Amino acid sequence: MTSVKIKNLTKRYGKTIAVENVNLEIKDGELFILLGPSGCGKTTTLLCIAGLINPDEGEVWFGDDMITCAEHNKFERPQERNVAMVFQDYAIYPHMTVFKNIAFPLEVRKKHKHEIETRVKEVAERLGISELLERKPKQLSGGQRQRVALARAIVREPKVFLMDEPLSNLDAKLRVYARAELKRLHKRLGVTIVYVTHDQLEAMSIGDRIAILNNGFLEQIDTPENIYNSPKNIFVAGFIGSPPMNMLDGTLIEKDGKLFVDLGFSTYELSNRFDKLKKIKSTEVILGIRPEDISISKENIKNSIKAKVDIIELMGRELSIHHRVNENTIIAITKPTEDLEIGDELYLVFVNEKIHVFDKNTEENLITKNS
């Protein structure tokens, strides 16, 4: 296996910039996610790693080997890169048995029959599909098919696995299972995987680290936890989390040495955790708070926001409550113990450490930003 480094990668299609100046360092053995909305450049980045697309600018490295360098017109051919690609439909051959499917890449390489047999059995053993070798794909579950596709990729001993939305045609339940399975396999095999998805939940649940792309730009690279807790900007904050983070327009004001956000309908006092904001010039801000970081109270307590219950949704073990606050909707998630009804008036309290403040103009997170 190998590490993968991407330097200043840019790919244009006429006037469309598919990927712009992207820099990534993927560690050996990492399960690295490329996440972002449709058209943000995920597949393009993956294909540049595979060598199936040549970028206009930039470099790709596998460990200490430079395999792409646009400046010097150096593009190692895809066959020489030894990457395994796993796509949505797995592309396992329906007329071949599982054994034949896994053996296929070795047969193409004209390996000796004995070697093929040994390696197929060994890989099948590692993936727990030894009993399925004589079956045809249609006699397998979705999860088993996924393992066959992986086995066929692994048998070639690739340097890197490149996966483009490999689970997206599975139903929701199977997907959760297949996700966990992939995570387990990754742990066991210790292979380097670059995994593309537009599903933030999938990214959060399996990724060691996540790179978030938006319109060809890299917005943030970090662990799922840091991306969730310390989003670098409004785009990342809004893209990760469901229901999404509440975002409220406001103006920063300082009064008697204390800092407040004037939200128009209410003024919210910020604790001294936000003292560094006293120095900044921009006062137009967006206050961000995730639904699970809001508590609700029937009493009017200090530094709370008066709201009216608009919609109550039961989401399994929790309630998602939509509140009307003037023209705004604020969503809070609580345990379904409250005796709440639509139209009730109550007070929302934001968990202080979980408040985010973004610059309205630059959209940057003002708390995590290095000043």
- Applying CB under 5 A, the residues found at the interface with Mg ion are 43
d(C-alpha 51, C-alpha 72), whole Å: 15
Strand partners, 288: 247, 356
User: Residue 250, interface with ligand ATP (CB under 6 A)?
Assistant: no
Question: Which of these segments, 33-41, 96-104, 176-184, 313-321, binds ligand ATP (CB under 6 A)?
Answer: 33-41
Residue 32 one-letter amino acid: F
CB of 13 to ligand ATP, least distance (A): 3
- Identify the three-state secondary structure at position 174: helix
CB of 213 to Mg ion, least distance (A): 11
If the CB atoms of residues 18 and 132 are measured against Mg ion, the closer one turns out to be 18
For residue 239, give every residue at least 6 positions away whose Cβ sits within 8 Å of its Cβ, in sequence order, or none: 35, 36, 37, 200, 212, 214
Member of 44, 146, 220, 246 binding ligand ATP (CB under 6 A): 44
d(C-alpha 256, C-alpha 275), whole Å: 13
Structure tokens at 287: 């206050």
Contact 153, 161 (CB under 8 A): yes
Partner whose footprint covers residue 93, from Mg ion, ligand ATP, none (CB < 5 to 8 Å by kind) = none
Nearest Cα neighbor of 156 from 112, 191, 187, 119 is: 119
Residue 349 one-letter amino acid: V
CB of 41 to Mg ion, least distance (A): 9
Give me the sign of the Cα torsion angle 349, 347, 233, 219.
positive
Site for ligand ATP in 193-212 (CB under 6 A): 198
User: Residue 42, interface with ligand ATP (CB under 6 A)?
Assistant: yes
Member of 39, 142, 244, 264 binding ligand ATP (CB under 6 A): 39
Partner whose footprint covers residue 18, from Mg ion, ligand ATP, none (CB < 5 to 8 Å by kind) = ligand ATP
If the CB atoms of residues 242 and 326 are measured against ligand ATP, the closer one turns out to be 242
Partner whose footprint covers residue 44, from Mg ion, ligand ATP, none (CB < 5 to 8 Å by kind) = ligand ATP
CB of 38 to ligand ATP, least distance (A): 3
DSSP character at residue 364? B
d(C-alpha 63, C-alpha 2), whole Å: 6
CB of 21 to ligand ATP, least distance (A): 14
If the CB atoms of residues 20 and 117 are measured against ligand ATP, the closer one turns out to be 20
Contact 190, 179 (CB under 8 A): no
CB of 129 to ligand ATP, least distance (A): 29
If the CB atoms of residues 13 and 265 are measured against ligand ATP, the closer one turns out to be 13
